[in-house]
Every structure is written in structure tokens, then in C-alpha cells.
Amino acid sequence: MSITANISAIKKEIGNSSVKLIAVSKTKPIESITEAYEAGQRLFGENMVQELVDKYEKLPKDIEWHLIGHLQTNKVKYIAPFIGLIHSVDSLKLLQEINKQALKNNRVIDCLLQLEIADEETKFGLDLAEAIELLRSDEFKEMKNIRICGVMGIATLTDNPKITAEEFYELGIFFQGLKDTFFRKDDAFKEISMGMSGDYKLAIEKGSTMIRLGSTIFGTRQAKSK
């Protein structure tokens, strides 16, 4: 199927729920993104800063770019002028740098806290205790140029939907706990970014508000050469 057909099929599945579709275009060429753009897609996700910046420069400026992969503090400055949402905030130090660069650009940058939900020791993400510590810190309270809009999680890569369902359920519980404790009066804190090509239907059932789909839209990616 074409990219256009894939997008319209997914849109149909989402129906009139408010779930947002992030088209994950990492490793894909400008032509593929342009096809998705012409099909009406405006939210795109990338995981590498350099690739994201290159694509931002070449493509229409009404695209909203999301950073979904791990972000190193020394690279925040390259995306701070234009990034729409950073899904992958996993430390106070990173958040402080985002705040600093956002201030330099005279803007407020929307962020999600990436939470660990997978069974295996994943490399990135905060556990719930670390997220609470971050949100309680004086440093966090002083940040004026970031806005926390919710949470993001990546489920264990498994064929067992029971495990995936449990992890998505857990992320929903974490979201609600943080909402009640820290963001009760903050309408901006409303996003749960969960669900990729293999598990997005389950994610929607479990309350996802943002699904991040790559291969379902653009086809399989070439494995990265090492």
C-alpha cells in the first residue's frame, strides 16, 4: 500500500477519537515525508537530532516536529528554535538544558516525561520515584520555559499482548498519579504517548493519546548498519 493509503487506513481506525498520529519518519527520505504531508499529515517524529534538523530545513514550516528518541544535553540547542514536542525527557539535567535553550529562543518548549515501563532494563526513562523527585525539586519549580504535557513510554518488545497490555495499563496509572499529585489544575498535562506499529491498537484501548507509527506508514526500515 502507498503511504497515502496507509495514513488514511490508520485515520479510519482511530476514528473520531482524539488520538494523535505521529508519523515516525526516521531513516525515511524527504520524498516519503512529502507524500505523507500531501496526504494531510502534519505531525512527524524523529529520533536523531541531526536528521531532524536537516529535514526541518528542507520541508514545509507548518510541520510540527517531535523528538522521540534519547536526547543528549549538548544537542538541545539545535532543535530548541523549532521543536514542537520532546517525548523523551529522562533527567532533570536534560530538562534544565531544554529550559535554558527555550529561554534563549524566547519560547516555551512542550515536553513529556519518558517513564520506564518495560520489564527489561531499558537504557532510558525515569522510574516513577525519579519522576516524582524531579517534579518535587526546587530546580523544576523554577523552570519557566518548559511545559510538561504528559508522559511517554515504550513497551517491552514481545509477542505476548498480555505483557504489553499490563505495561500500557501501568503507564496510564502513572499518568493519573502524576496528574492528581502535580498537575491537577494544569490542563496542558493530558498526553500519554504510547503505541508503535506493533502495539498501537492495544495502546489506544489502554488510553493512549498519541501513537508513534513508523513502519505501518512508511514500510519497514533498513536495519541500521553498525
- In sequence order, what are the beta bridge partners of 65? 44
Give whichever of 47 and 209 is closer to ligand PLP, judged by the CB atom. Answer: 47
Binders of ligand PLP among 35-54, rule CB under 6 A?
A: 47
Residue 184 CB, nearest approach to ligand PLP (Å): 28
Give whichever of 42 and 107 is closer to ligand PLP, judged by the CB atom. Answer: 42
Contact 99, 145 (CB under 8 A): yes
Give whichever of 91 and 197 is closer to ligand PLP, judged by the CB atom. Answer: 197
Is residue 176 near ligand PLP by the rule CB under 6 A? no
Give whichever of 206 and 212 is closer to ligand PLP, judged by the CB atom. Answer: 212
Is residue 7 near ligand PLP by the rule CB under 6 A? no
Give whichever of 48 and 59 is closer to ligand PLP, judged by the CB atom. Answer: 48
HEC profile of the chain = CCHHHHHHHHHHHHCCCCCEEEEECCCCCHHHHHHHHHCCCCEEEECCHHHHHHHHHHCCCCCEEEECCCCCHHHHHHHCCCCCEEEEECCHHHHHHHHHHHHHCCCCEEEEEEECCCCCCCCCCECHHHHHHHHHCHHHHHCCCEEEEEEECCCCCCCCHHHHHHHHHHHHHHHHHHHHHHCCCCCCCCEEECCCCCCHHHHHHCCCCEEEECHHHHCCCCCCCC
For ligand PLP, what does the binding mask look like between residues 67 and 86, x meaning CB under 6 A? -xx-----------------
Is residue 214 near ligand PLP by the rule CB under 6 A? yes
What is the widest separation between alpha-carbon atoms in the chain?
Answer: 51
Is residue 212 near ligand PLP by the rule CB under 6 A? yes
Candidate list 196, 202, 204, 210; residue touching ligand PLP; CB under 6 A? 196
Candidate list 21, 67, 154, 178; residue touching ligand PLP; CB under 6 A? 154
Is residue 215 near ligand PLP by the rule CB under 6 A? yes
Binding site for ligand PLP (CB under 6 A): 24, 26, 47, 68-69, 154, 196-198, 212-216
